[in-house]
């Protein structure tokens, strides 16, 4: 498997379109590009920002491991996975997954797999900052996220 894999953990924002173009530029064999961007929601106006803490020495390795697993499971041409940390305001992007392949089925499945695994395996934790100046505490892991990741286990 020779999918091109690009993984970054960064404080700054990213340009999803430019990242997708990087995987397809000059290629005429790719038939499908799936781009998923996860954004920070304002939770009906209650949330001022999310503060994302991460385990720097482990985060990139863990995302790489998940990306390699995706590349082993599906015939992909390329993967981009970017996860931000630090203070992120509503409307700003948090996470990006781009997958490319010859056909759409593999690109969709791999992108879905990557997001399900990033949520439960990559060492990131979200803390809420509320619009009324208070701390909303740490976001709790959801059972549905674990169930989503579990469905890929074979």
Partner 1 sequence: MRALYFAWVRERIGRAEEEIAPPETVKTVGELMGWLSGQGENYAAAFAHIKSMRAAIDRTHVKHDALIGNAREIAFFPPMTGG
Report the alpha-carbon distance of residue 66 to residue 51 in Å, rounded: 23
Q: How far apart are CA 8 and CA 93, in angstroms?
A: 14
Q: In terms of CB distance, is 15 or 53 closer to partner 1?
A: 53
Give, as ranges, the residues between 88 and 147 that touch partner 1 (CB under 8 A).
94-95, 115, 118-127, 137-141, 145-146
Cα(103)–Cα(114) distance, rounded to whole angstroms? Answer: 17
φ, ψ (nearest 5 deg) of residue 122: -80, 135
| Tokens representing residue 32 in the block | 């499908």
Least distance in angstroms from the C-beta of 16 to partner 1: 15
The CB-of-57 to partner 1 minimum distance in angstroms stands at 6
Binding mask 26-65 toward partner 1 (x if CB under 8 A, else -) reads ------------x-------------xxxx-xx--xx---
Cβ neighbors of 29 (< 8 A, separation 6 or more) are 77, 102
Under the rule (CB under 8 A), what is the footprint of partner 1? 38, 52-55, 57-58, 61-62, 83, 94-95, 115, 118-127, 137-141, 145-146
């Amino acid at each position: 498997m020779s999918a091109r894999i690009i993984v970054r953990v960064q404080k700054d924002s990213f340009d999803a379109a430019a990242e997708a173009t990087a995987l397809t530029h000059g290629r005429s064999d790719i038939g499908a590009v799936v781009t998923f961007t996860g954004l920070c929601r304002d939770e009906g106006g209650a949330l001022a920002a999310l503060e994302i803490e991460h385990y720097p020495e482990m985060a990139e390795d863990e995302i790489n491991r998940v990306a390699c697993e995706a590349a082993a499971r599906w015939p992909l041409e390329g993967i981009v996975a970017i996860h931000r940390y630090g203070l992120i305001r509503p409307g700003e992007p948090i996470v990006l997954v781009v997958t490319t392949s010859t056909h759409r089925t593999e690109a969709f499945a791999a992108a879905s797999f990557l997001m399900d695994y990033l949520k439960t395996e990559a060492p990131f934790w979200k803390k809420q900052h509320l619009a009324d100046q208070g701390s909303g505490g740490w976001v709790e892991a959801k059972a549905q996220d674990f169930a989503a990741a579990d469905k890929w286990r074979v």
